Amino acid sequence: MIRKYKNLIYASLNIFALSIINTIKGGVIMECGYNHIFWICELISLLFMISLLYFLYRTINEGKCTTIKRESSDEVSD
């Protein structure tokens, strides 16, 4: 069952990690302002966002959904 939903689980965990990092980043801004700890949190957030976007791009490209276009046989010949 885990194999069936691994893409959904991975995306959910990545979004959860992004929300935790952004919450921590908000706390750092309130307590310390824009110092080196803020920029470390910002870098971690950026890395999680890049990994999520790469995962979504890869998932879309590996999709098994195809469209079959049939040629119409109603063509009128001259």
SS (H, E, C) 25-71: HHHHHHHHCCCHHHHHHHHHHHHHHHHHHHHHHHHHHCCCCCCCCCC
Could you report the per-residue pLDDT of 18-64, keeping only the tens digit for each? 888 888 888 888 888 888 888 888 888 888 888 888 887 887 777 76
Residue-level pLDDT at 24 = 85
> How many domains, the chain?
1
Residue 9 falls inside a structural domain? no
Residue 3 falls inside a structural domain? no
pLDDT band per the 50, 70, 90 thresholds, residue 75: low
Model confidence, pTM: 0.62
> Which residue range(s) make up the domain with 46?
14-61
Q: How many CB atoms lie within 10 A of CB 7?
A: 14
Q: What is the DSSP letter of 78?
A: -
Please give the residue that has the higher pLDDT: either 73 or 71. 71
